[in-house]
Amino acid sequence: MNTPIKLMDWLTAWFLWFVDCYGLPAIFVASALASATIVIPTPFNAVVFLIAPFYDPFILTLVTALGTSLGELSAYALGRGGEAALSHFKKTSQKEIEKIKKVFEKYGFWAIVVFALTPLPLDIVGVLAGMTQYDIKKFFVGTVIGKLGQYSIIVYGGYYGLPIVMQAFGI
């Protein structure tokens, strides 16, 4: 039984329908929802690639980057709540959190940018940032910078590349 594939097909169809009905506001909402799912992959990047030829690429990049950055705050919020829960269960967790906090002080902003730019799991960095009480504004700005880079590649790739591929296959 191919349940995960059927679920991805359903999610892709839903995202495409939602965007088709409601346009750019839907793209913003869908991007926030897609990135608010912690550690559960969604097909949103494929949807953005497919709809790119139908929108201004600069606007689409901006809308998706801001929406996904907003959605990533859910991982940060989970980390903030998780830090309190961990301290009740494990006495040594405070030492571990202090070690992570030192790493975040040194590399945090750039780690956030790199994880947001690439397919690396930004959710994990968001949870750790929340647990160490890393500045939420820095987390958000780093996420926006990385997502702007990521969605520039996806959107412009779809905007310029998809018509070429469709023409080559006679679609």
**Residue 131: its pLDDT value, please?**
84
Q: Which residue has the tokens 């959190």?
A: 97
- Orientation of helix 122-131 relative to helix 136-168, angle to 10°: 170
Going by the DSSP 8-state scheme, the letter that residue 145 receives in this structure is H
Q: How many CB atoms lie within 10 A of CB 149?
A: 17
Rounded to whole angstroms, how far apart are CA atoms 125 and 108? 9
**Residue 86: its pLDDT value, please?**
61
3-state secondary structure 16-85: HHHHHHHHHHHHHHHHHHHHHCCCCCCCHHHHHHHHHHHCCHHHHHHHHHHHHHHHHHHHHHHHHHHHHH
**Residue 160: its pLDDT value, please?**
95
Residue of 75, 71, 52, 70 lying closest to 151 (CA atoms) = 52
Residue of 65, 58, 50, 77 lying closest to 131 (CA atoms) = 77
The one-letter amino acid at 166: M
**Residue 4: its pLDDT value, please?**
54
Sorted by sequence, the CB contacts under 8 Å of residue 48 that are 6+ apart come out as 27, 31, 60, 64, 151, 154, 155, 158
Residue ranges in the chain modelled with pLDDT below 70: 1-8, 39, 83-93
pLDDT tens-digit readout, 29-61? 989 988 998 767 777 888 899 889 989 999 999
Instruction: To the nearest 10°, report the CA torsion of 25, 80, 141, 146.
Output: -80
pLDDT tens-digit readout, 11-22? 777 777 877 788
| 68, 48 Cβ separation under 8 angstroms | no
